[in-house]
């Protein structure tokens, strides 16, 4: 148990501690693995000499649940966990999910909705003056006024609703150490206003250097155009080299101030973070409860990078991890892989080597290392920037080293390959080695849509780029003698997607010859550019008006169109085709999506009563013979037919080669 940080007062006493310096309250189960934010931040503080106790998934209905260690000497750290609690609990249609992968046995209901607010208020009821610092993705993406999809309104900065003192936003290694050192030196938490990567509250702006004054909360709440303008300013100030402090006014409650983001980790710093003494296991208290499903999914995967310059509008990475890429060294990754091979459960397969985008292993251009990313330009959209450095050689070298390790049979890439970056690379070595060594029959890629209009609002390249990737992928497979498929991810109901575009996507799915088992409906999560478009109907960077499918019934139709073969979707598909003026797709031709319904009259003139009687009599005699032969034979035949049908479905499943 000494390998884990203490989770009870008894364990704290066994370590010889009279008081913890920090108590970390988290909505996740305690997993001591660097894929979990709780583990990284707590181990990092431990490495700096601070004593950290862990309270995982406290019962928010009982104040005693956060009093496990008593009052910490320096403060409480509060996080909802690796996922936003609302996304964790609800589907895009706002229905309750059945499984929580970050809880023991996948059990749902062990954390509250809006966990950081609930936990923080629970703490404040008992510890009136103890500093509370929020962190993790839930707090990070709600750091300023934001549209809340679940309540369909603009909400305050989470700092106000929680009663906390500070937010450590983004990837918090730098900021949390500075916060800890400041508190240790005796600086009152209300005077910690200068640390990059933090958000604080104040009565006036006397201590804020050259802030950008955003529209007030009342203004963004009342006017959608003002909300979009405020979001655009925030979007342009997400870079640590160029961003300025942002201040948002809340009337008598003062200001919420966001300092510029923390600097990205250097490779040495990132290696140090992943070299901390993690047990890389779940806490033993969960073993009898079925383990933690989320760990099983990533246990034998390697995180090689952070950040993403892909710039997809529906992704929160720009606001959370940033666009500047950060990587671990080959040596760091190989050491972790070697430890992995010694695990008794390791079967020889490394499941993934990647991050937000697997094949990004360097900044998009050298300028970013000293001057940051461009404020008004993207690296890959709408076309690759002329200054973009396209080079897979470092990633290829890393993968080759991992393949050669003793005990490693196969190294897969599953976290997503950026296909437009692959197409932009004139050297096709990576693509060749990808299909030869790192794909298991199917490569999952994310074109998201086929309509260039929708792709524009998504911040994705035109569909022709994806078609070019498929051509190159097919050619690479033929050269290596493999028969492998590209399985595309598609999204329905994104801003800009009319019913016409939804039908166009359905036609593309038809031509592929497969039906997606799961369809991702656009989910308006906090602090993405697409969510701003969803709420306001305005593209915040251009001021352009955008069509938004908000009606739940329309969203259901768009989703059903991608699964038009499902009989349960027939009426929705028919309605969608009528709305799009595409009734030509109802019929018997090879391009039709659904068949028409034949209307049968009770009295059919073309069929005589005697013909009906003869046919009915024949059916009765056949049925009698089947019944006399016994039900067992019929059941065997049914099972055989079912197996045949299943086999045929498997043959046709899998997407485009």
Q: How crowded is the C-beta side of 362, counted as CA atoms within 13 Å?
A: 15
Q: Is pLDDT at 34 greater than 80 in this prediction? A: yes
Contact 282, 93 (CB under 8 A): no
The CA distance from 106 to 575, in Å, is 38
Note the pTM of the prediction, 2 decimals: 0.88
Query: Predicted confidence band at 635 (pLDDT cuts at 50, 70, 90)?
Result: very low
Q: What is the pLDDT of residue 396?
A: 98
Per-residue model confidence as pLDDT tens digits over 128-149: 999 999 999 999 999 999 999 9
Q: Where are the beta strands (DSSP E) in 127-262?
A: 132-135, 146-148, 153-155, 166-168, 198-202, 212-213, 246-249, 255-258
For residue 430, count other CB atoms closer than 10 A to its CB.
Answer: 21
Residue 365 annotated in ligand binding = no
Q: What is the pLDDT of residue 598?
A: 63
556 three-state secondary structure: helix
* Cross-sheet strand order for the sheet of 442-448: 442-448, 485-492, 520-521
Q: Is pLDDT at 657 greater than 60 in this prediction? A: no
For residue 74, count other CB atoms closer than 10 A to its CB.
Answer: 23
Q: What is the pLDDT of residue 632?
A: 36
Query: Predicted confidence band at 306 (pLDDT cuts at 50, 70, 90)?
Result: very high
Q: What is the pLDDT of residue 612?
A: 42
Token representation of residue 143: 């750091």
Q: Is pLDDT at 317 greater than 70 in this prediction? A: yes
Mean per-residue pLDDT, 441-457: 94
C-alpha R_g of the chain? 28
Mean per-residue pLDDT, 238-257: 97
Query: Predicted confidence band at 388 (pLDDT cuts at 50, 70, 90)?
Result: very high
Per-residue model confidence as pLDDT tens digits over 164-211: 999 999 999 999 999 999 999 999 999 999 999 999 999 999 999 999
Q: What is the pLDDT of residue 15?
A: 93
Token representation of residue 107: 């059990």
The CA distance from 526 to 609, in Å, is 66
Arithmetic mean of pLDDT over the chain: 90
Task: From residue 203, give the alpha-carbon distance in Å to each of 62, 213, 258.
Answer: 33, 14, 14
Residue 308 annotated in ligand binding = yes
Residue 374 annotated in ligand binding = no
Q: What is the pLDDT of residue 366?
A: 86
In sign, the C-alpha dihedral spanning 495, 498, 503, 504 is: negative
pLDDT above 90: percentage of residues in the chain: 86
Per-residue model confidence as pLDDT tens digits over 492-547: 999 999 999 999 999 999 998 888 877 899 999 999 999 999 999 999 999 999 99
Which residues have CB under 8 Å from 26's CB, separation 6+?
Answer: 38, 54, 55, 56, 57, 78, 79, 80, 81, 136
Token representation of residue 345: 């459960």
The CA distance from 318 to 239, in Å, is 9
Least confident interval from 58-62, 437-441, 481-485, 639-643: 639-643
The CA distance from 247 to 201, in Å, is 9
Per-residue model confidence as pLDDT tens digits over 599-633: 433 343 444 444 444 444 444 444 444 343 444 33
């Amino acid at each position: 148990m000494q390998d884990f940080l203490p989770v009870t007062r008894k364990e704290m006493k066994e370590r010889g501690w009279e008081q913890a310096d920090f108590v970390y309250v988290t909505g996740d189960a305690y997993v001591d693995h660097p894929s979990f934010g709780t583990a990284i931040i707590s181990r990092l503080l431990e490495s700096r000499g601070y004593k950290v106790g862990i309270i995982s998934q406290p019962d928010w209905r009982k104040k005693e649940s956060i009093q496990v260690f008593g009052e910490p000497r320096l403060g409480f750290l509060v996080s909802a966990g690796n996922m936003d609690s609302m996304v964790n609990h609800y589907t895009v249609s706002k229905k309750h999910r059945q499984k929580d992968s970050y809880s023991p046995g996948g059990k749902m209901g062990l954390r509250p909705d809006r966990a950081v607010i609930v936990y923080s208020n629970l703490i404040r009821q008992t510890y009136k003056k103890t500093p509370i610092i929020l962190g993790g993705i839930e707090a990070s993406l709600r750091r300023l006024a934001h549209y809340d999809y679940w309540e369909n309104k603009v909400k305050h900065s989470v700092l106000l609703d929680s009663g906390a003192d500070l937010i450590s936003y983004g990837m918090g290694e730098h900021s949390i150490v500075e916060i800890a050192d400041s508190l240790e030196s005796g600086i009152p938490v209300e005077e910690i206003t200068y640390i990059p990567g933090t958000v604080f509250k104040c009565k006036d702006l006397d201590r804020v250097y050259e802030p950008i004054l955003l529209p007030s909360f009342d203004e963004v709440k009342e006017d959608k155009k003002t909300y979009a303008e405020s979001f655009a300013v925030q979007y342009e100030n997400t870079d640590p080299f160029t961003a300025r402090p942002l201040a948002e006014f809340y009337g008598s409650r003062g200001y919420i101030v966001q300092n510029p983001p923390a600097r990205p980790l250097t490779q040495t710093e990132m290696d140090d973070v992943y070299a901390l003494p993690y047990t890389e296991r779940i806490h033993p208290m969960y073993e009898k409860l079925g383990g933690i499903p989320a760990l099983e999914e990533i246990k034998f995967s390697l995180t090689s990078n952070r950040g993403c310059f892909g710039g997809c509008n529906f992704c929160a990475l720009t606001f959370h991890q940033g666009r500047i890429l950060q990587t671990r060294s080959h040596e760091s990754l190989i050491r972790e892989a070697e430890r992995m091979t010694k695990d008794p459960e390791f079967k020889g397969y490394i499941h993934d080597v990647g991050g937000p985008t697997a094949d990004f292993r360097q900044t998009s251009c050298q300028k970013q290392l000293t001057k940051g990313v461009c404020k008004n330009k993207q690296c890959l959209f709408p076309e690759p920037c002329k200054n973009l450095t396209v080079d897979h050689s470092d990633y290829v070298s890393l993968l080759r080293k991992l393949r050669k390790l003793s005990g490693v049979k196969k190294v897969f890439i599953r976290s997503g390959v950026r296909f437009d970056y692959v197409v932009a690379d004139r050297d096709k070595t990576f693509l060749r080695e990808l299909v030869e060594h790192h794909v298991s029959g199917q490569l999952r890629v994310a074109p998201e849509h086929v309509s260039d209009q929708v792709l524009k609002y998504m911040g994705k390249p035109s569909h022709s780029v994806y078609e070019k990737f498929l051509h190159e992928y097919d050619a690479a497979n033929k050269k290596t003698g493999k028969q492998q498929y590209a399985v595309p991810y598609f999204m329905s109901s994104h801003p800009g997607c009319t019913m016409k575009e939804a039908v166009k996507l359905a036609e593309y799915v038809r031509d592929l010859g497969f039906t997606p088992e799961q369809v991702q409906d656009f989910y308006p999560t906090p602090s993405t550019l697409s969510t701003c478009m969803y709420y306001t109907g305005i593209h915040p960077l251009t001021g352009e008006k955008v069509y938004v499918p908000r009606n739940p019934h329309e969203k259901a139709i768009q989703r059903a169109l991608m699964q038009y073969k499902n009989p349960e979707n027939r009426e929705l598909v028919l309605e969608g085709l009528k709305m799009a003026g595409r009734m030509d797709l109802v019929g018997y031709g090879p391009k039709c999506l659904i068949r028409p319904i034949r209307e049968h009259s009770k009295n059919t003139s073309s069929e005589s009563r005697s013909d009906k009687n003869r046919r009915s009599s024949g059916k009765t005699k056949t049925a009698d013979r089947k019944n006399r032969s016994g039900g067992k034979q019929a059941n065997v035949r049914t099972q055989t037919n079912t197996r045949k049908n299943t086999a045929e479905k498997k043959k046709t499943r899998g997407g485009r080669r």
